[in-house]
Amino acid sequence: MVEENALTKKFQKEMNAGIASLALLSVMGQAKEPMYGYQVAKLLEDNNQGAPIMKQGALYPVLRSLEKSGLLASKVEPSVSGPPRRYYTITDTGRETLALWKEIWGQTKSFVDHILKGVTND
Amino acid sequence: MTNSVEEYLDALKKELEGSDSATIQDALVDAEEHLTTALESARETQPDLDEEDALDQIIEQYGTPEETAAAYVEVERRTFPGLTPATVKKQGSPLGRFFGIYADPRAWGSLFYMLIAFVTGIVYFSWAVTGLSVSISFAIFIFGLPVALLFLLSVRGVAWLEGRLVEALLGVRMPRRSLLPPKGTKLLERIKVLVTDKHTWLSILYMLIQFVLGTAYFVVLVTVFSLSLSGLAIPILQEVFNLPVVQNYDVHYFLPQWGYPLVVLAGILLWTTTMHLVKWVGGLHGRYAKALLVTD
């Protein structure tokens, strides 16, 4: 039982690795103005009907790694109260990459759906 | 479970122990930003909600310190497989641990901090004394009050700056508080906050004490450093430059050669011990600065 649980967790983690980047890049691609982490987390929460697939805290390192790869840019601005906030925007490279990633996602999705529906052997 | 954002950040820091320091910094900054913002919005939407309950709910969604730490480590590992720093292994042997201090960034940070405390101490002290005396002597004029208030405001700025310095060099987390009350606060209200906050006054005290501490740090460090260095230099000075250890008119005293290993060893031991001491004092100073400069 424990092993099955650990396996499932590992599977979820591995799936999330790519999906989180795609989802966040896509959110940033649609954003009209720079967004900070909490706004992104809130937006994802509001747009998710089922159980959340990942903790909000896990979004932040992904945002940072997207920035390190040059797909997002960020600037820190002081907030009215509390600590300063980091605002993210998508870069041009980010937009180009997003288009490619969407394509890959489309292919992957239809392939996996097709397999899951049942393979024919003729 | 977790009673305050501070507590969460401490737990997160503990979980991330041994990771790259930039990763730790990122994780702490992100968590502080998120939790504070979430708490604030919870306060706005449900004013009667219990603070601790609200925080528990927020953390439930954000992830436990353990989960959050794991997420950062995972992303770091994936992004830079080649660059992940080999975690500094704790040297096993006592000798290794003793000399391992030279690889400890915290010790070097403290050393640097203690040296520049000499300069910042002088600046803070002069500013505090000037500000206080000008404020007091202008008190008989109508424009005395604004001058005094401007001085107090500048003290808050200095406290913030010193906090950044302490956090960067001594590694003691200083909670980031905004310098000013929220927008829309009435001027009178702002002034009241500024004057009644005990940390404004404690910061002035800190600025005054920093002069004494900074001077003491500097004098002790320079003395010990010169002493250690002279231990290492004696053999070279005597053998290469033919300079005696003691020279008083025509009395020249040369250290006998069997004494060379002893003075060199003494020099090395003295400085290494001092590095340990520096790290310890740095930690103490950080805690003292936190107590005086920032509101909990």
Q: What is residue B3's DSSP assignment? A: -
The reply to whether A60 touches chain B by the CB within 8 Å rule is: yes
Q: Which residues of B touch A57 (CB under 8 A)?
A: 30-31, 34, 62-63, 67-68, 71
Question: Dihedral sign, CA of A12, A17, A18, A19?
Answer: positive
What token pair was written down for A62?
A: 């992904």
Contacts (Cβ under 8 Å, ≥6 apart) of B243 = B237
Q: What is residue B292's DSSP assignment? A: H
Q: Evaluate whether residue A44 is within a structural domain.
A: yes
Does position A1 have pLDDT exceeding 50, yes or no? no
CB B225 within 8 A of CB B271: yes
Q: Which residues of B touch A80 (CB under 8 A)?
A: 178, 182-183
What token pair was written down for B38?
A: 């979430």
The reply to whether A38 touches chain B by the CB within 8 Å rule is: yes
Report which of B149, B100, B90, B159 is spatially closest to residue B124, judged by C-alpha positions. B159
Structural domain span for residue A85: 2-117
Mean pLDDT across B270-286: 93
pLDDT at B220: 95
| pLDDT interval class at B120 (50, 70, 90) | very high
The reply to whether B68 touches chain A by the CB within 8 Å rule is: yes
In chain A, the number of structural domains is 1
Mean pLDDT across B208-224: 95
Q: The whole model's pTM is what?
A: 0.55
Q: Evaluate whether residue A77 is within a structural domain.
A: yes
Q: Evaluate whether residue A122 is within a structural domain.
A: no
CATH code where residue A100 lies = 1.10.10.10
Inter-chain CB proximity A45 and B61 less than 8 Å: yes
Residue A77, helix vs strand vs coil: strand
The reply to whether B37 touches chain A by the CB within 8 Å rule is: yes
Percent helix, strand, coil in chain B (nearest 5)? Answer: 75, 0, 20
ipTM: 0.82
Q: Evaluate whether residue A109 is within a structural domain.
A: yes
Element (H, E) at B229: helix B198-239
Tens digit of pLDDT for each residue in A18-57? 888 999 999 999 999 999 999 999 888 888 877 777 889 9
